[in-house]
Copies of this chain bind each other. A is one copy, B any other.
Amino acid sequence: MPTHFKGDPKTVLALDTFIKFTRAASALENRLAHHNVLGDLTMTQFGVLETLYHLGPLCQGAISSKLLKSTGNITLVLDNLERHGLVRRERDAQDRRMVNLSLTPKGEELIARIFPLQAAIIAEELAVLEPAEQELLGRLCKKLGLGKQADPAVNRTLSSSEEPH
């Protein structure tokens, strides 16, 4: 038994599933981090660069909701990316509340170089599952991720989102 919980079978099954799900996420994340493809980039920094690379310039709020991170967090992550000269911030001329984000040439060069490497490593890690199993896992995760809401969200990048958070 993967859990010590004594309760109704529905809850036991749910806990069991949850444990395996959560642990797989941690293990996979750790393994990806150890492949060292990202160099000094953190996962979130990579996510920001990747999102800008694939979707073009965006404002901070958009990045925040796509990555499911707080706006305060994104501010800090962007500070660090900007400090390293990978991202540019510019106040929007029309709506001066917004800050438009874009990749610098250096940032674009970097993400163009490492994204395919990261993709290859992800493919390698996922290869323990057959294509049909991957498809199935994707379908179950999508359902689980959306939860008890109908509104269908469309995912567009390696870490994009339209979901509420």
Interface residues of A (CB under 8 A from B): 2-5, 7, 10-11, 13-28, 30-31, 54-55, 68, 115-116, 119-120, 122-123, 125-129, 131, 133-148, 154-161, 163, 165
Tell me if B116 and A7 are in contact (CB < 8 A): yes
Chain A interface SS verdict (over half) = helix
Q: A15-B119, A27-B161 are in contact. List 14 more A-B contacts (CB 8 A).
A: A3-B157, A3-B158, A7-B116, A11-B123, A13-B135, A15-B123, A17-B138, A23-B163, A27-B144, A28-B147, A125-B144, A128-B148, A136-B136, A137-B140
Task: Name which residue of chain B comes closest to A9, CB basis.
Answer: B131
Q: With the chains together, A163 CA to B30 CA distance in Å? A: 11
Q: In the bound complex, how far is the Cα of B18 from the Cα of A136, in angstroms?
A: 12
Could you write out 24 A-B pairs with CB less than 8 Å apart?
A: A5-B119, A5-B158, A10-B123, A11-B119, A14-B119, A14-B123, A14-B125, A17-B126, A17-B135, A19-B158, A19-B159, A20-B139, A21-B24, A21-B28, A21-B137, A21-B141, A22-B159, A24-B145, A27-B147, A28-B147, A128-B143, A129-B143, A137-B140, A140-B140
